[in-house]
Amino acid sequence: MKNAIFTVAIIFSGALYACSSIQEGKELFASKCAGCHKLERSLKETKNLAEWRKITHRMAGYSDGGITGKEAEKIAEYLAKK
Ligand code: HEC
């Protein structure tokens, strides 16, 4: 019985973690990606994670330090799942 509760707790905290990381990506996207072009430009595109990674890292390059590699990763994860 204890084990079952433990397993549920692990699964639940994993789901919470995944959610908060997507939420973080969403907030980063809204704050970091609106400077040069409209957010709609990204929102209307459907791409997989690998394609978004390529783009967000390219954008991070344009941003001249405004977007870090870590932030580009989180934004790519959000955009791939939106
Ligand atoms: C410093 C300015 C700048 C910032 C900040 C920026 N972009 Fe861009 N973006 C550009 C420019 C310039 C282009 C057109 C040239 C190109 O596609 O490389 C572009 C093009 C794009 C495109 C179309 C390219 C394609 O291949 O479909 C998407 C999607 C995009 N940006 C998404 C984003 C996202 C997501 C972010 C935040 C991580 C972001 N941009 C932040 C300047 C910027």
Domains of the chain, residue spans: 2-81
Confidence of residue 57 (pLDDT cuts 50, 70, 90): very high
2 vs 61, residue with greater confidence:
61
Question: Does 67 sit in the ligand 1 pocket, CB within 6 Å?
Answer: yes
If you take atom 32 of ligand 1, which residue's CA is the nearest one? 42
44 phi, psi to nearest 5 deg: -80, -10
Q: Which of 17, 42, 15 is nearest to 30 (CA)?
A: 42
What's the gap in Å between 15 CA and the centre of ligand 1?
30
pLDDT for res 56: 98
4 vs 63, residue with greater confidence:
63
Per residue in 62-79, pLDDT tens?
A: 999 999 999 999 999 999
Q: How large is the average pLDDT for residues 37-52?
A: 95
CATH code of 2-81, in short, is 1.10.760
Residue 33 is encoded by which pair of tokens?
Answer: 């990606």
Q: What 8-state DSSP symbol labels residue 47? A: -
Is the model's pLDDT at 13 over the cut of 90? Answer: no
Question: Does 76 sit in the ligand 1 pocket, CB within 6 Å?
Answer: no
What's the gap in Å between 76 CA and the centre of ligand 1?
12
